[in-house]
């Protein structure tokens, strides 16, 4: 059960992930979380370095789709700015949003997909249930939704357990 919450990889932020490493790992597509992964949840424009990272990934012919448990105009604006598809109201960790994302990704196998997100209980659990690889990043912002603040308490218990078992990966880059 615990392994469903254990990311394959871990790093501080998305802009640290080398495109060459993605290629080396055989990643053909990325399902990217929005809030506190691509940008802080209370902001509407991603940082220049994150925008440029997404562009580099796209130039390397790795497809990107945004998958958020939020939706609305903010998500659509960011999707337009980055020139990538976006799926809102994803209800992660349920599989429904991930399955919708797959339609944009045209991959041969689920092992070619990397999910990137900041929450073990939504991004990591959802990705693991789908047999995708998953990279867990640090949250960009300490302020979070009320519901997220509750799940973070559960997350901190999971982190302790995963670390105790020696299966939590260390920082990659």
* Binding residues for Mg ion, total number by CB under 5 A: 5
* Binding span for Mg ion by CB under 5 A among 33-41, 76-84, 85-93, 154-162: 33-41
Among 36, 93, 127, 162, binds Mg ion (CB under 5 A): 36
Among candidates 133, 140, 99, which has minimal Cα distance to 116? 133
144 binds Mg ion (CB under 5 A): no
Answer whether 24's CB lies under 8 Å from 44's CB: no
DSSP collapsed to 3 states, 121-153: HHHHHHHHHCCCEEEEECCCCCCCCHHHHHHHH
Least CB distance to Mg ion at residue 80 (A): 20
At residue 80, what are phi and psi to the nearest 5 degrees? -65, -45
Assess 118 for contact with Mg ion (CB under 5 A): yes
Q: Beta partners for 136?
A: 10, 117
User: Least distance to Mg ion from the beta carbon of 166, Å?
Assistant: 26
Q: Coil, strand, or helix at residue 39?
A: strand
Give the number of other Cβ atoms within 10 Å of residue 15's Cβ.
Answer: 17
Give the binding range for Mg ion (CB under 5 A) out of 80-88, 103-111, 114-122, 162-170.
114-122
Near Mg ion by CB under 5 A, which window of 26-34, 43-51, 56-64, 103-111? 26-34
For Mg ion, the closer of residues 36 and 79 by Cβ is 36
Instruction: Report 48-67 residues binding Mg ion (CB under 5 A).
Output: none
Footprint on this chain of Mg ion (rule: CB under 5 A): 33, 35-37, 118
């Amino acid at each position: 059960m615990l392994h469903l919450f254990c990311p394959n990889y871990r790093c501080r932020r998305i802009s640290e992930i080398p495109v060459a490493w993605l290629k080396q790992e055989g990643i053909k597509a990325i399902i990217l979380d929005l809030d506190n992964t691509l940008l802080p949840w209370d902001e509407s424009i991603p940082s220049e370095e994150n925008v440029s990272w997404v562009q580099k990934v796209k130039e390397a012919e790795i497809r990107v789709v945004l998958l958020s448990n939020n939706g609305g105009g903010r998500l659509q604006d960011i999707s337009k700015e980055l020139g990538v598809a976006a799926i809102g109201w994803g209800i992660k960790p349920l599989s429904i949003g991930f399955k919708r994302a797959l339609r944009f990704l045209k991959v041969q196998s689920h092992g070619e997909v990397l999910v990137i997100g900041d929450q073990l209980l939504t991004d990591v659990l959802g990705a693991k249930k789908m047999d995708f690889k998953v990279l867990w990043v640090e949250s960009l912002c300490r302020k979070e939704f009320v519901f997220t603040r509750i799940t973070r308490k559960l997350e901190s218990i999971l982190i302790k357990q995963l670390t105790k078992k020696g299966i939590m990966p260390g920082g990659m880059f």
